[in-house]
Copies of this chain bind each other. A is one copy, B any other.
Amino acid sequence: MSTYDIILRNAYLMARDQVVDIAIDDGVIAEIDDAVERTADREIQVGGDLVGPGFVDSHMHIDKSFAACGRRHPKGNDSAFDFREIMPREEEYFAEMTVDEITENALKDIEMAVAAGTTYIRTHVAVNHETFGLQNVEAVTRARDVAANLVDIQIVPAARHIPSEESKQILHDAIELASGSESPEPALVGGSDPAGANKDIERTLKAWFDVATKQDVGLDVHIQDGGTLGGYTLDRLHEYTEANGYEDRVTASHCYCLSHLPNHHLDRLIDQFTESDMNIVTCYQSTRPTMPVRKLLESNVTLAHGTDNDRDFVFPHGNADSLEGALIESNKLHGDRTFVEDYRWFDSNEGLDQLWEMITEQGARALGIEDRYGVSEGNPADLVVFDEPSPQWAIIAQATRRFVLKNGAVVAEDGELLPEYSVSE
């Protein structure tokens, strides 16, 4: 009997609620059994603790990452600022940055994410025909290719100054650039608020779908306008999705409006999400405490999680750590017994399970990788070994990521990337 490459012995699998052995061969999960009989070149004793799939970080901005670093106090975050300042800050920052520098920061961000257990990333990347052009997409595409053995990355170019013709052209070019023949993951059309950012809901949506349909790629767009303005934008996004036959190919990120609207309005939006198979992504940094996470998940809407910004001029925070995100979401969504629904739900074992799903399976659904995701025989061995016995305790104790495996290779141990897998300078 030949030997396996790696066996994880006595691993708790949440899906089976059982302790099993997991055998890995040739990058793939070869066998899962109560007790795998064959041996392996490397056997890791998990001791009954949790083994989960690599985290799916459904929303990052790796082109901006570490913009706030390099000084004693975070740069660009001296005081609070109006969100409309983000665009000028972005233009100012990237005017000074080279492709090499952006690539290096993106690689550091990838390393941080992988060390924390992430094996799939969707990252938004700014493009701007008026100022910094395609440099960020060049950088992130390069970083993606350099780090291909650490993480799968989907790139979402987001053109500023939509819906002008020039912005549509550069968005088109960005998709081409990021979808080179070697790239394993398709690029998607990104962008921000048709109303609040682009001041023209109809022409923005039309521009996004023009570019997406022309290149036959999906969309993942920021819908951050609040209240009924955001709700109306989601209505129109749904209608464009249906009109273009884009069911299951559109993601709406953030959707703060869902935390502002009354239940009857929410119910109608949820019906639309279901009809057009629209995915929603929320991010711990900016999730509103009244975000109807439980309601969305229990209505079978795909609701994934992203860690969003990492130490940049938008947020000084960020450790690219989905498990930290889940802990913070749990505390944010704790509720208020006085006035808010779902009090304590996200402290409960069921609620913590839902948060765990958002950083794993729900992310896989949002990224369209569910056919190859999860701890099942035949899937790529993208796994995390924790030092806690369940998703609940992993979130609560912010468990050590003892081992992170990508395609069957151990790439990080005890929260640190192995030196031989380092991709940054």
How far does the Cβ of A260 sit from chain B's closest Cβ, in whole Å?
6
Question: Contact at B80–A348, with CB atoms within 8 Å?
Answer: yes
A311, A332, A342, A389: residue with the most chain B Cβ atoms closer than 10 Å: A332
Question: Contact at B288–A347, with CB atoms within 8 Å?
Answer: no
A403 cross-chain contacts in B, Cβ below 8 A = none
Tell me the chain A residues, 267-307 only, with Cβ under 8 Å from chain B: 284-286, 288-289
A315 cross-chain contacts in B, Cβ below 8 A = 347
How far does the Cβ of A394 sit from chain B's closest Cβ, in whole Å?
11
A80 cross-chain contacts in B, Cβ below 8 A = 342-345, 347-348, 351
How far does the Cβ of A334 sit from chain B's closest Cβ, in whole Å?
6
A78, A82, A259, A288: residue with the most chain B Cβ atoms closer than 10 Å: A288
A288 cross-chain contacts in B, Cβ below 8 A = 289, 336
- Interface of chain A, helix or strand or loop or mixed? loop
Decide yes or no: A331 and B260 within 8 Å by CB, A393-B74, A397-B319 being known contacts. Answer: no
Contact with B along A351-368 (1 / 0, CB 8 A): 110000000000000000
How far apart sit A113 and B72, CA to CA, in the bound complex (Å)?
27
Interface status of A330 (Cβ within 8 A of chain B)? yes
Interface status of A246 (Cβ within 8 A of chain B)? no
User: What 19 additional pairs, Cβ within 8 angstroms, besides A225-B338, A289-B332, A327-B328?
Assistant: A72-B390, A77-B349, A78-B349, A78-B350, A79-B349, A80-B342, A80-B343, A80-B348, A83-B343, A226-B336, A226-B339, A227-B338, A256-B336, A311-B396, A316-B348, A317-B327, A317-B396, A319-B398, A328-B332
